A and B are shown apart, each in its own frame.
Chain A
Amino acid sequence: MESNTTGVSSALRPLAETTWRFRILVVLLFAVIGWALYAYSVQLSVGLGSTGMNAPAYWGVYIVNFVYLIGLSAGGVIVASLAYVFNLKEYKPIARIAELLAIMCLIMAMIFVTLDVGRPERLVNIVLFGNPWSPLVWDFIVIMIYLAICLVYGYLGTRSDIVAAMKAIPKRARLYRMLALWYTDVSPEARKKDERTLRIIAMAALPMAIALHSVTAWILGLMKAQPGWHTALLAPLFVASAIISGLALVVVATVASRRFLHVQIPDALISRLGRFLVWLIPIDFYFAFAEIITIQYGREPAQFSTLQDVVLGPLAWSFWTEMIVGLLIPFLLIVRAKDRTPRRVGLAALLIFVGVFFKRIDIVIPSLIFRWLPFPPGGYTPTWVELSLMAGVYAFGVLFFVTFAKLFPLVPLEREHEPEAAEEAPHAEALLAEG
């Protein structure tokens, strides 16, 4: 294998150097994580009573974040694996970022579940005594499989670049050898083999990503006690908003990496991703509309009262933020092709990404607060413990991302002898047809 030496070393240079700005960022992130650890010690010693959760808000921001992050994780992978399965070469530069984000979000989601349970030390009971009828157990299984897929996918997709980095940055050679799991053969044959495995894994990743978010939706949607969730639309709706929020996160991370980490990604790719987002927004609107009109027309009391809570109740600001700031404004920002500059697409993606968080709030909380029996009206306000822990988990996520951004190139290195993907395309299609 002959690598394009000048291109490779310029792409690898940011890895070896750290600016003072980067160091400040890392220190700040550690400070936030430290504070969160303190908050967790409070939560552990006082109990979940230190959070804002209560009856009927049995779940709070931890579960909102869990659902949100699972969606982000699934969405990124759906986009990345589409690029591989259909061999869309122009999207490959973002595949690695998407994969890294997927792993990051998945780990964060698992942290949030751990924060949420009353007896974290007993979580092992899920493995020891798992009840096959519980959607939580289904989710646990799917998360594990999905994490494994993402890790293999990330490993195979990055391996040859890790080896390149190993050669280019001798002082970290041992670390890189370890990251490559001591498999450093990058001959064209070995890489071709990687590519082939990758495409198969990409095909497995796609249904798994959809399964992951559907099962997460079913944790909520199968509960007949919660009329706001108990609709067959919930899983498709979750998958749709997972794709849009996951893609938005990929775009945000891509634009930010270009700007702050000097990662080379062409403008054209970003505007193409912007076009994707424009197509996805109406789908989200469509689902919201289908849901609302069905409930509004039927006026079935339990569902209707939950809907009223969502659109007019104390948490209505969250619903309207999602609709206007999270969907409408981004749509207007980038609906015209000539507006899709990296900066605008990045901004629109950021709004979508944040907007979906509000959507998760208004899916989870108002439904929970509905009660069948005449209990006193419920409410929920998170406490500093929950907010600190949330900040800590997100700081951990950013730290995770920038650490890997420093370890290997976020965009696959250009090579002169790229194993010819075109000749493999019919093979991929054949596999698709079979499966």
Chain B
Amino acid sequence: MVRWGLVIDLDKCTACQACVVACRVENNVPIGGEEEVRKERAIFWNQFFSEIHGEYPNVRLHMFPRPCMHCEDPPCVPVCPVDATYKDKDGRVLVRYDKCIGCRYCMVACPYGARYFNWFTPEYGEGHGNHLNPDVVRDGEGWIVGPSPRPRGVVEKCTLCVQRIERAKEEGTPLGSEHEGGVVSACAQTCPAFAISFGDLEDPSSDVYRLSKDKRAFRLLEDLGTRPQVYYLSEG
């Protein structure tokens, strides 16, 4: 069994947010525009957070990217009335964009705010619009789960770059950060500081397996019992 996951080393992260940009391009994430960003309707499959702890002069700035956690026990999955969002056999939580009715119940159920709604018909800036990712990924039943532009009125979120992984499996390319030239998610590939590792959490020889057992490893909102498959390594 495979269980794809990420480990994000916050000690290495420089907060450059290249992962956020790479994700947008790889996955055809639409641009909301300034006005809609202000109204909290922007879409970020991987969203960057900065948080100030403490009070002057004892302040600490925490910054971290937040993809979907691909929870092992995902609260977003059971609530979906039409089975449009599901946990696949590789441990990813995916959305069937052509099945979703847009009720947004899964968004209400996700504690991480990792799900985003298409309030409008997706729009891309000129540069981005001319270079959309042409991939289409379908699940076993033929529903679309891959990066083709989503229709208006459905939910979308991080897929751990399902299109890359599925293609690598077809072509027999090695997968995971531990392999030289191994296929990884767009965020992991782009990170100039090598802060993000991608791989199979079940495989003892993988980077993510080893790092997830590190004593610095933690997961977001662990108390909620969602058991994320995205680990962070705390800043020292």
Contacts and interface: CB of A to CB of B under 8 A. Distances in A.
Contacts of B224: 224-225, 372
Contacts, number: 136
Contact of A56 (B39, B103, B113): B113
B73 to A, nearest CB: 11
A375 B82 contact: no
Contact of B81 (A58, A59, A116, A130): A130
Given A131-B83, A225-B111, A123 B101 contact: yes
B108 A48 contact: no
B104 A59 contact: yes
A55 B101 contact: no
Contact of B153 (A47, A223, A376): A47
B113 A47 contact: no
B81 A56 contact: no
A47 B75 CA distance: 27
Contacts of A373: 49, 66, 112-113, 220-221
B197 to A, nearest CB: 22
A24 interface: no
Contact of A54 (B41, B79, B102): B41
Interface in B214-236: 220-221, 224-225
Contacts of A378: 40
A286 B118 CA distance: 41
B6 interface: no
A176 B103 CA distance: 39
A174 interface: no
Nearest to B99: A125
B107 A58 contact: yes
B119 interface: yes
Contact of A119 (B110, B119, B153): B153
B120 interface: yes
B82 A125 contact: yes
Interface stretch (A134-142, A151-159, A337-345, A388-396): A134-142
A130 B154 CA distance: 17
A368 B105 contact: no
Given A130-B82, A131-B81, A224-B224, A368 B108 contact: yes
A290 to B, nearest CB: 25
Given A55-B41, A117-B103, A134-B81, A48 B66 contact: no
A49 B235 CA distance: 39
B55 interface: no
Interface in A288-305: none
B107 A134 contact: no
Contacts of B221: 372-373
A371 interface: yes
Nearest to A381: B39
A378 B38 CA distance: 10
A372 B81 contact: no
A122 B40 contact: no
B99 A122 contact: yes
A422 interface: no
Contacts of A433: none
| Chain B interface bracket (under 10, 10 to 19, 20 to 34, 35 or more) | 35 or more
A140 B82 CA distance: 12
Contacts of B15: none
Interface in B144-169: 151-155
A136 B82 CA distance: 9
User: Which of A46, A116, A130, A223 has the most B CB atoms < 10 Å from its CB?
Assistant: A223
A376 B44 CA distance: 14
A123 to B, nearest CB: 6
Given A47-B118, A49-B41, A375 B79 contact: no
B100 interface: yes
Interface in A134-177: 134-137, 140
Interface of A is mostly: loop
A122 B153 CA distance: 11
A126 interface: yes
Contacts of B155: 118
A219 to B, nearest CB: 8
A49 B119 contact: yes
A175 B156 CA distance: 50
Interface in B116-150: 116-121
Contact of A46 (B109, B120, B151, B225): B120
B118 A118 contact: yes
Given A49-B120, A54-B41, A129 B108 contact: no
A129 B110 CA distance: 22
A101 B108 CA distance: 30
Given A54-B40, A225-B75, A119 B101 contact: yes
Nearest to A122: B101
A132 to B, nearest CB: 9
A48 B81 contact: no
B230 to A, nearest CB: 13
A225 B113 CA distance: 10
Nearest to B82: A125
Contacts of A426: none
B78 interface: yes
B101 A47 contact: no
What are the 5 tightest A-B residue pairs by CB atom distance, in nearest-first order?
A118-B102, A118-B153, A49-B119, A225-B111, A374-B51
Given A49-B36, A225-B110, 12 more contacts: A49-B119, A54-B40, A54-B41, A55-B116, A58-B117, A59-B104, A126-B82, A223-B79, A372-B224, A373-B66, A373-B112, A375-B49
Interface of A: 46-49, 53-59, 116-120, 122-123, 125-126, 128-131, 133-137, 140, 219, 223-226, 368, 371-376, 378
